[in-house]
Structure 1
């Protein structure tokens, strides 16, 4: 173990003189998890990482698919508050081997994941998480409500910013029969925002009553898996998604669509996914694209086939939306820290700082012009760059104690100067909405802003090939565990043998023992495609592909999908033979 944890000293290589080096960092060997030096560098307009293990040799990996975007995003690099309640003493810290959080960690928790089960009713080919029967050492992991409450209390004890946002995840959380009780227990601990990560199948099957029960218990929104608008790209829940939308409309429960983006699989439908969200903006609040993390052992050829990065997705969206959303409309997540600093100033309370690494995530807001029905990014009528620079300068003056510090009135007056009313979408008064939210704390204005806008996000979680310690130490999406640790996402899942698998084995039940205790087989919980027979739903999304000229006839002919019949019928519905 001592050899495993040894940090390799940086060694100057002759090859380095030929590289356009952007920075040095540390990473791990994808074979043995040894901590080694890594170089992030530019080549042919893209950003790569190279690292060499003394045992397993060199690994070169695409890190960020656009050098110019990397440079622009890097200007927003911010360090966060960290946490003043570290669970790992500093003398024991050796990233990434004993996360917990430790005092090396630069960002506090923005979103805490609680795994309520690792069982799932699907077996998606790219998923790394659900319990797989037949594997040696397979365990069912389902913490008790009492254990979950203790985890949440640990989150709430963080300082200076007590955690107040939780994602209930799995596996598939809706397989827990006591899920409503779990949600209530989490809410009772002072959690303001509860997000339910789900494939939506049980919500589609159980209907609006279940969605209403989830909302009343405390769920703020669904984080809904959605990989494309056709059965070819989204076979897991293509037929069920419209019923989830129907149920959530009746429950007034907002939805975030979450596509896992895989090169050569569904990256040609990113624009259509946004169009689908636009069609359903009354209930869809956001789309959060997640470029796939490549887990397991893959050859370089295999990785190149599937690897896609944030800039690659952004450029595809520009192309697939006919330029309505351009690459320049996106900003890295930490660019919003000046705004959170300002809110902290006016409220006199510590606030969230989304201080993740600039290469981890990006986002933008889009609105719909009522006359043209086109998408209008916020950057088209608000000078976001100028606003960020203004806030940065004012916050620096506040911190230095300079007289005439920024006031709410001064901010609002100046804010309106960054809005170009002539380019504002028809039917939108953005300045008034922001004024009502900040000055009057208007929940109605917040609701109006949500209904009029669609957030588009990117979040690229790491894997062993592109793992970067500088990113890891700034991660603000964490896992809560029964041993009361708070573990960064990209430690928990990137090195599962140290974290995820070890924890689930320690606190889980062997599959045979679980099956005996509940009187059924693990595979009995698999979804059998009930909604893929009978009446097909007209809001499935396939028509968007047809209208765009990207219809896949083979996909339309997959078993259970009658899209080709539906969209040529007068009624908009057709019976599907079983």
Structure 2
């Protein structure tokens, strides 16, 4: 039905990770990645389940200033990541894994955290890595990840070292358990320079956490939010959405987050991808797509959130994410913020240079995911009324967004060459997040735990 001409691209075989020819097919409102491995045959996986239809979902980009080249192109994309000369987008977020240890053993974990972890890098070694990446990228946003970063007793020192390297926006990616259990940890991290907490938060009932994280954790998640807000840290709730587990709680998650605004700055949904410690039988089967999330949010909020509110990104590939800033309205409402990028149903916006898209994305995240502040006015002191206006503008903002990471089934190398979220490796390379975590059906990794090719 209404099939359009396939778009050629390249991918990897999900069984052997061989680079293979692929094509992006559109059938009605749905999108598929189809690839052919000479040894293992054809694979066809749906990655887009409209509406909104894939054909009208686009934010065109034009080349800008090239990103830094840190590795040579010898074997070809995606084997020379680091970034290689074939990459087309600058870094918006650099992710540093500061430990492989974890205080949970989640059935769903992209990093397989806690499985025979290597020793933690020292603060000095991390400081050197921070400095090297800053020299390559400049002041991008940083996320400290793992493993579970809060298992490090010296995490405040790690945060301070990251800030000392020049990074202004430093966020920690955490399950929140240590923040809930240690009354002073959030304050120590804030004093060290932490700006934001990316809090794993999969649902509003304990059965969801028991299924995805192995334990009933709701009370501790809520306590972690309270600790962080009291310490002046911005909090972003990050649900991993798994079909049949928590895709019916999208609206409940938004309502809970809204009830704790403005300390909670928004929700960033992540449909589960088949890499790491995630059931492989789900790889080519049912999966939650970005349009499923948009429609689910509308249906489960009674129309307060509308699918047509959301717009494609100005930085990464259009098929990778959506977002929309809102303003807090009354006691429990949300209304779309004015003056944002066009929604999926608006006329297509003008093309944007890739590096300009990266610059805007960095600035938006740094402003929106931090706690409300009183920023000083350029050129002079800020009087009380200026402070009031500035704080009112930031404290009323609340953002809903989602990112669909690509796995071995859905990988589209055209999309990955536009990736702006890069893992900073131990040997000081930058690898797109999806490629770094990509694993074959038998668990073989493409980049994680491997030196530069």
Distance 2:378 2:7 in 1: 39
Distance 1:96 1:493 in 2: 12
Counterpart among 326, 351, 355 of residue 366 in structure 1: 326
Distance 1:299 1:314 in 2: 25
1:199 aligns with 2:175: yes
Distance 1:84 1:316 in 2: 36
Residues 72, 80 of structure 2: 8 Å contact kept = no
Following superposition, which runs of at least 4 residues in structure 1 exceed 6 angstroms of deviation? 296-301, 388-391, 436-443
1:155 aligns with 2:133: yes
Pairs within 5 Å for 1:320-335: 320-334=300-314
Counterpart position of 2:263: 283
Cα–Cα, structure 1 residues 277 and 326, in superposed 2: closer, same or farther, change >3 Å?
A: same
Cα–Cα, structure 1 residues 297 and 239, in superposed 2: closer, same or farther, change >3 Å?
A: closer
Instruction: Quote the RMSD (CA, aligned, Å).
Output: 3.1
TM (norm. structure 2) is: 0.84
Q: CA deviation at 1:123?
A: 0.9
1:226 aligns with 2:204: no
SS where residue 290 of structure 1 aligns?
strand
Distance 1:263 1:317 in 2: 15
Instruction: Please give the per-residue CA displacement for 1:364-417, whole angstroms capped at 9, x wherever unaligned.
Output: 0122322x7422122xx557439x989849x99xx9xxxxxxxxxxxxxxxxxx
Pairs within 5 Å for 1:36-115: 36-66=20-50, 68-74=52-58, 76-79=59-62, 81=64, 83-90=66-73, 92=74, 94-115=76-97
1:166 aligns with 2:150: no
Residues 79, 106 of structure 1: 8 Å contact kept = no
Cα–Cα, structure 1 residues 147 and 21, in superposed 2: closer, same or farther, change >3 Å?
A: farther
Q: CA deviation at 1:325?
A: 1.0
Q: CA deviation at 1:450?
A: 2.8
SS where residue 206 of structure 2 aligns?
coil
Q: Decide which structure has the larger Cα Rg and report it.
A: 1
Instruction: Please give the per-residue CA displacement for 1:281-333, whole angstroms capped at 9, x wherever unaligned.
Output: 03100110001111269999734654111111111001001111111100011
Distance 1:225 1:51 in 2: 33
Residues 263, 305 of structure 1: 8 Å contact kept = no
Distance 1:218 1:503 in 2: 31
Distance 2:161 2:340 in 1: 43
Q: CA deviation at 1:190?
A: 0.7
Counterpart position of 1:497: 445
Instruction: Please give the per-residue CA displacement for 1:403-439, whole angstroms capped at 9, x wherever unaligned.
Output: xxxxxxxxxxxxxxxxxxxxxxxxxxxxxxxxx9899
TM (norm. structure 1) is: 0.67
Q: CA deviation at 1:79?
A: 3.9
Residues 102, 114 of structure 2: 8 Å contact kept = no
Cα–Cα, structure 1 residues 167 and 444, in superposed 2: closer, same or farther, change >3 Å?
A: farther
Counterpart position of 2:227: 247
Counterpart among 184, 187, 192 of residue 217 in structure 1: 192
Q: CA deviation at 1:80?
A: 5.2
Aligned length: 418
Q: Could you say which structure has the greater relative contact order, defined with CA pairs below 8 angstroms and 6 or more residues apart? A: 2
Counterpart position of 1:119: 101
Distance 1:470 1:443 in 2: 45
Instruction: Please give the per-residue CA displacement for 1:438-484, whole angstroms capped at 9, x wherever unaligned.
Output: 99997765532331121111011110000010111111101112211
1:356 aligns with 2:316: yes
Instruction: Please give the per-residue CA displacement for 1:223-255, whole angstroms capped at 9, x wherever unaligned.
Output: 000000001112343120121122123211110
SS where residue 140 of structure 1 aligns?
coil
Counterpart position of 1:294: 274
Counterpart position of 2:360: none
Residues 179, 224 of structure 2: 8 Å contact kept = yes
SS where residue 240 of structure 1 aligns?
helix
- Stretches of structure 2 that go unaligned for 5 or more consecutive residues are 357-375
Residues 365, 377 of structure 1: 8 Å contact kept = yes
Q: CA deviation at 1:497?
A: 2.5
Relative to structure 2, which stretch is displaced further, 176-185 or 303-312?
303-312
1:478 aligns with 2:435: no
